[in-house]
C-alpha cells in the first residue's frame, strides 16, 4: 500500500513563497503521474498541478506562472514550489496520483495566506 506524507505548509503573507513536500513510501512515486490538490472547507478537493511519469507538467490557470511541480526521485518526493501567494491559495494541500485509482489521502498540509 502506497502512503504519502505532505509537509511544508504554514502561515505566509501575500506575495510570499512556500515549498510543499510529498514523501512516498511503499512504492516509487516516479512511476506514477502525481498531483497536488487543494481543499477549502465546504468545497471539493481540486487539482492544482500535476506531473506525469515522463515529466510533463499540468497547471490550473490560477497556478500557472506562480507554482512549479517537480520530483526528486532519489528522495521519492514530489514538490510544489509556490511563489507570489495570494489569499485564495489558502487551503489544505494534498498529494496523490494524478488521474484515476487514487490512494488513500494523507493528512495534508495547511497553507494559510494572510497579512
Q: Are strands 109-113 and 91-97 parallel, antiparallel or unpaired?
A: antiparallel
Amino acid 99: pLDDT: 86
pLDDT digits (tens, 9 = 90+) for 26-77: 999 999 999 999 999 999 999 999 999 899 999 999 999 999 999 999 999 9
3-state helix, strand, coil in the chain (%, to 5): 10, 50, 45
Burial of residue 23 (CB within 10 Å: 0-12, 13-18, 19+) is middle
Amino acid at each position: 500500500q502506497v502512503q504519502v506524507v505532505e509537509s511544508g505548509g504554514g502561515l505566509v503573507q501575500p506575495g510570499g513563497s512556500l515549498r510543499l513536500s510529498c514523501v512516498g513510501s511503499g512504492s516509487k512515486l516516479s512511476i506514477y503521474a502525481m498531483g497536488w490538490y487543494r481543499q477549502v472547507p465546504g468545497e471539493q478537493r481540486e487539482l492544482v498541478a500535476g506531473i506525469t511519469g515522463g515529466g510533463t507538467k499540468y497547471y490550473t490557470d490560477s497556478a500557472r506562472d506562480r507554482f512549479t511541480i517537480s520530483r526528486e526521485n532519489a528522495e521519492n518526493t514530489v514538490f510544489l514550489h509556490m511563489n507570489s501567494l495570494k489569499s485564495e491559495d489558502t487551503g489544505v494541500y494534498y498529494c496523490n496520483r494524478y488521474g484515476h485509482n487514487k490512494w488513500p489521502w494523507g493528512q495534508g498540509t495547511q497553507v494559510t495566506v494572510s497579512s
